[in-house]
Structure 1
Amino acid sequence: MSSLTFKSNPLSITSGSPKVVHTLALGYLASALKANKATQNEEVIILEREAVMHTLKTVKKEILREQPDVLGISVYLWNYQRAMSLCEMIKQDNPHITIVLGGPQVTYTAQEVLKENPSIDIIVRGEGEITFCELIEALKRRTPLHSVQGITFRHDNSIVQTPDRPPNCNLDAIPSPYLTGILDLSISEKLDLETSRGCCNRCAYCVWHRAYKKINYHSMERVFEELKFAHDTGVKEISFFDSVFDSPERGKALCTFIQTEGMDLRINIFLNVWSVKPEYLHMLKRSGTFSLDVGVQSMNPETLMLINRPSNVEVTKKALAHLEAGGVETICDIIFGLPRDTLQTVKAEIDSISSHRLTLQTNFLQLLPGSQLYETARHHGLVYTEEPPHMVYQTPTMTKEELIEVFQYGHFVRHRENMRRAIESGKVDRGVRLQWRFDSLFGG
């Protein structure tokens, strides 16, 4: 076996020059392969490209130029259709390439994906580092794949699904793709970090908790080492992929480290609405430039109960007030199309967030395969697109027209708040101010 090629999405353009936003998942896979004795000599190539900016023909040409033996593609809701088309194009040009898929979109529908897409050879389910190393070793030695846990594959005109692989409890055993140089930080101003896997919540629209009975953590020493390395390399912005700051002890340790080291960084974090506390916000503000992404999702009590959100309306209202008073840049997420939500309840949620001068971010409900809502969508009367991203466009309590209306309303409110901030900062001229005031008064 000569080489493996991983395909992913991100490439961002900043100031006219390309700046790579590395794909952490593929970096972990490559690091694991290089640390494994049986696969450490394999040539691993990561192709990071923004699907919107490159045609499939261009991506296919780039992959085939590398002449890989194995092509691995990380698949999500938003790139599923393009990934399937790309695999078909690759197989047509070179049927000898073994195509392996992984990621949340295919983990819980592996057999269906293989049945519907003959160009796919193997699917890695769940965590991929150990599984992928064993898979590559088996392919290299041409031994049967039946002993590799956590895969679904074709064999003698049938589809075989091996037992699930237990979660990896020792995350530090996976070498850091940053510290090992697999992902080159010298060409990136942004960094994505993962400090844990799993979730203690059981939200019905999510699958992150499904494979984990408990949360598995990287040691804080590992996280500190990656942070310091990134800062010393010139990284300006770090995004934490997990809810590390939902753990007060670990969140406080991170803030203390950042403050002690004098790191000048912009840090983006996720925070559950029930974790918002005044003392926590003060700590974040003292430690540097933080941007919070707070999951509100809904403020309808019936909806919160149905989607298993461990929150209530009073907790959310207090959190919004704390966020406004705390002075930390905040985005509040709400989801359109959840069960029992109505036009009136969602508009009230938008107004509540706006009244606290917080940035609104809205998303239509997308049904993740393997999630509780995906499996019970028909029971709840959710109408959604059959093809990924399985977007909900009608519910028993909201018509298609009402969902469009609330989307437009959310867009208007977000635009109004952006203009207000620009006016208050003096970044717009008087003519724009007058237009904004007219729009605010008359809903233009």
Structure 2
Amino acid sequence: MKVLLTTLNAKYIHSSLALAYLKSYCAKGPFAVEIKEYSINENLEKIMMDIFDKKPDVLAFSCYIWNIEPILQLVSDFKKVAPDTIIILGGPEVSFDSEQLLSQYEDIDIIIRGEGEITLKEVLEAIYSRQDLKGIKGITYRWQDKIYQNPDRELIKNLDIIPNPYSEENLKGYYRNKIVYYETSRGCPFNCSYCLSSTIKGVRYFSLPRVKKDLLLFMQNKVPEVKFVDRTFNCHEKRAREIMEFIVENNLATRFHLEIGAELLSEEMLDFLKKVPRGMFAFEIGVQSVHDHVLRAVNRPGNWEEMKGKIRKLIAYGNIHIHLDLIAGLPGENYSLFQHSFNEVYNLYPDVIQLGFLKLLKGSPIRTQSREHGYKFNFRPPYQVLENNYLSFAEIVKLKRIEELLELYYNSGSFKNTLRYLVKEVYEDKPFTLWEEFALFWEDRGYFAMAHKKETLYGLLRSFIEKEKGFLAEQAAEILKYDYFLNHRAYMLPPDFTSHNPQGISEMVYELIRDSSFIDRYLPDWSGKSPREIRRYVHLEYLPAWVIDKKAGDKLTPILFVYNQVSKKAERVIDIGKIM
């Protein structure tokens, strides 16, 4: 019996931990289990043809809000050409209304509800041995035109019974160009009403010896990035620290992305985090709102002032990438209150600010409470809020446009100095007003409907500054040029920007990089390289001295940008004027 486990990921570089677990748990059964992953950006006809060529006896899909609609289309079409194939659906998007889905889509044979490892194996064994399904917990299924819903399955108590799905072979092969996902626990200590984790009480852990063995495999194979899917990695701080200490002691080149609760960090943990190697960890922290009454409305504990102090420390350390989340559309938070939440989070200057919008997921408590707060939301996935008693649709539209600009400008990291200058010097630490005005500027000119090259974005920001704050246009243009050369290995400025470089600038660069004493002192990593090779990764640009030193004057100074060979971004900036 041939079993194909498949899904449609949001991006090609993503991978499905769920499918990996299912395959590893079912590997010893009397059937051949294969994984094939696609992305939602691929052509459905080609996906169907590829699945058909594999001729599965059992076809199982992992379903989420981003892929349920194309999966249902695939199921309907595939059943027409392969009516004998048994089709199974599982995942959070089908676990809470399984009877309704089976009634609505007659091509689905079985739906697995909740955790799937044990259930899928029992289902496959029953199909293989031609036994009925009535004794298998955690499934809803169709038999002789009738739909049956069996009792729920208990949660897996000992998670170590699930084999590690990763091996040296598949890390170097199947997962070579993909983000690897991993978990050390299941469940969450919080019960936020917008999250499906609130439907499962308590936290269960993989044993520490198991976790360390798994992590060592990643690190020894130099996996570029591992994303933990633990809902709150540091909910058990002693355990979390032991895992992080193990990573620090054994890591070679892997970056670990963790979702943490900042409010749970003790002073001892903060002291430890201050000393971890730069770039080894990335933290995603769900702030969601800075207002206590809003957080209480979604059953989320919070003390913003305490959390803010701890986040500020993490950012000040400078060794951990910090990603902060906000959710627009929470009960009790109107446009003005959200503006305050935005300003509070923004003024911490994390590496990334994710402005998300509330999704009323199937099975979530907030969906059952939607009438209480006047929620109107998308009928189809992702069930995103349209408006409620606190935010109008017009205000949601404004926030969506701000979110788009935030991604292009702030989260790209390519405009840091310009944006900080505008917020500090022009908008008096009220960043929401900047983004609100910038979004209106884009909307009035139809820019949201156009595609833009990265270089063009600099000119659009400059045009906005000239229109709204013309008296600062020249200063802002100089900072924009500085940001541009920091983030682009380029020899020319974008259109509408003027260079101050004198004639003969190229000869000046070669004079510098031919000087072995200069290379040995300022660019020791390039010692022994030819001037021609070094020239490819340096750029000299004259800018006002105050751009890199606020205390300096308007005198033009030559600044050497030294670029990383991989990222093509400046890793060093040298004020040549100070050393000449």
Q: Normalized against structure 1, the TM-score is what? A: 0.89
Find the partner of 1:33 among 26, 44, 60.
26
Structure 2 residue aligned with 1:124, among 100, 112, 121? 112
Find out whether 1:317 has 2:308 as its counterpart: yes
State the alpha-carbon separation in 2 of the partners of residues 419 and 433 from structure 1: 13
Match of 1:96 in 2: 84
Out of 223, 236, 257, which is 1:268 matched to? 257
Please say if 1:374 is aligned against 2:367. Answer: yes
Q: CA offset at residue 230 of structure 1? A: 1.4
Range 254-263 or range 196-205, more displaced = 254-263
**Pair 1:47 & 2:36 matched:** yes
Change (3 A) 1:180 1:91: farther
Q: How far apart, in 2, do the equivalents of 1:284 and 1:64 lie?
A: 50
- Partner residue, 1:3: 2
Task: Indicate the residue corresponding to 1:206 in structure 2.
Answer: 195
Is 2:134 aligned against 1:134? no
Aligned to 1:326: 317
For the residues of structure 2 that align with 1:279 and 1:141, how far apart are their CA atoms?
A: 56
* Structure 1 residues 122 and 443: CA distance shift in structure 2, 3 A: farther
Cα shift at 1:228: 1.2
- 1:189–1:398 Cα change, 3 Å: closer
Change (3 A) 1:407 1:273: farther
State the AA in 1 paired with 2:184: T
- Report 1:275-354 matches (<5 A): 275-277=264-266, 279-288=268-277, 289-327=280-318, 328-354=320-346
How far 1:404 moved relative to its partner?
1.1
Aligned to 1:17: none
Change (3 A) 1:255 1:241: same
Q: By how many angstroms is 1:394 displaced?
A: 0.5
Q: Tell me the amino acid that sits aligned with residue 4 of structure 2.
A: T
Q: Does 1:406 align with 2:421?
A: no
Displacement of 1:209: 3.5
1:42 to partner: Cα distance: 1.2
Cα–Cα, structure 1 residues 11 and 158, in superposed 2: closer, same or farther, change >3 Å? Answer: closer
- Aligned pairs for 1:155-304 (under 5 A) are 155-179=143-167, 184=173, 187-188=176-177, 190-211=179-200, 213-242=201-230, 243-277=232-266, 279-288=268-277, 289-304=280-295
Query: Whose radius of gyration is greater, 1 or 2?
Result: 2
Is the 1:282–1:326 Cα contact (8 Å) retained in structure 2? no
Contact 2:325 2:354 (8 Å CA) reproduced = yes
Instruction: State the Cα RMSD in Å.
Output: 2.7
- Deviation of 1:272 (Å): 1.9
More RCO (CA 8 Å, sep 6+): 1
AA aligned to 2:468 is F
Q: Which amino acid aligns with 2:374?
A: G
What is the Cα deviation at residue 32 of structure 1? 0.7
Residue 141 (structure 2) aligned to one of 144, 148, 153? 153
Contact 2:222 2:253 (8 Å CA) reproduced: no
CA distance in 2, matches of 1:22, 1:405: 33
Q: 2-side partners of 1:166 and 1:84: how far apart?
A: 28
Q: Scaled by the length of structure 2, what TM-score is found?
A: 0.69
Residues 14-29 of structure 1: pairs in structure 2 closer than 5 A: 21-29=14-22
The 1:342/1:80 distance shift into structure 2, 3 A limit, reads same
Give the drift of 1:436: 5.1
Is the CA contact (8 Å cut-off) linking 1:346 and 1:406 kept in structure 2? no
Work out whether residues 138 and 151 of structure 2, in 8 Å CA contact, stay in contact via their aligned partners in 1.
yes
Paired residue secondary structure (1:397)? coil
Mapped to 2, the partners of 1:296 and 1:84 lie a distance apart of 34
8 Å Cα contact 2:10-2:66 kept in structure 1: no
Between 225-234 and 280-289, the greater mean CA deviation after superposition:
280-289
Is the contact between residue 189 and residue 236 of structure 1 (CA under 8 Å) also seen in structure 2?
A: no
Contact 1:101 1:120 in 2 (8 A): yes
Q: Structure 1 stretch 4-13 or stretch 213-222: which is displaced more?
A: 4-13
1:440 and 1:231 map into 2 onto residues whose CA distance is 50
Shift of 1:346: 1.1
Q: Structure 1: which 5+ residue stretches go unaligned?
A: 14-19
Q: Distance in 2 between matches of 1:347 and 1:294?
A: 19
Residues 290, 344 of structure 2: 8 Å contact kept: no
Aligned residues: 428
* Identity rate, percent: 29
Deviation at 1:164?
Answer: 0.6
Would you say the 8 A contact 2:228–2:258 is kept in 1?
yes
1:197 partner amino acid = R
**TM-aligned CA deviation for residue 311 of structure 1:** 0.8
> Is the CA contact (8 Å cut-off) linking 1:207 and 1:368 kept in structure 2?
yes
Equivalent residues of 1:416, 1:436 under 8 A apart = no
Inter-CA distance 63–121: structure 2 relative to 1 (3 Å threshold):
same
Secondary structure, aligned partner of 1:82? helix
Task: Name the SS of the counterpart of 1:104 in structure 2.
Answer: coil
* Structure 2: unaligned runs, 5 residues or longer: 421-453, 471-580
Deviation of the 1:283 alpha carbon: 2.6
Aligned equivalent of 2:386: 393
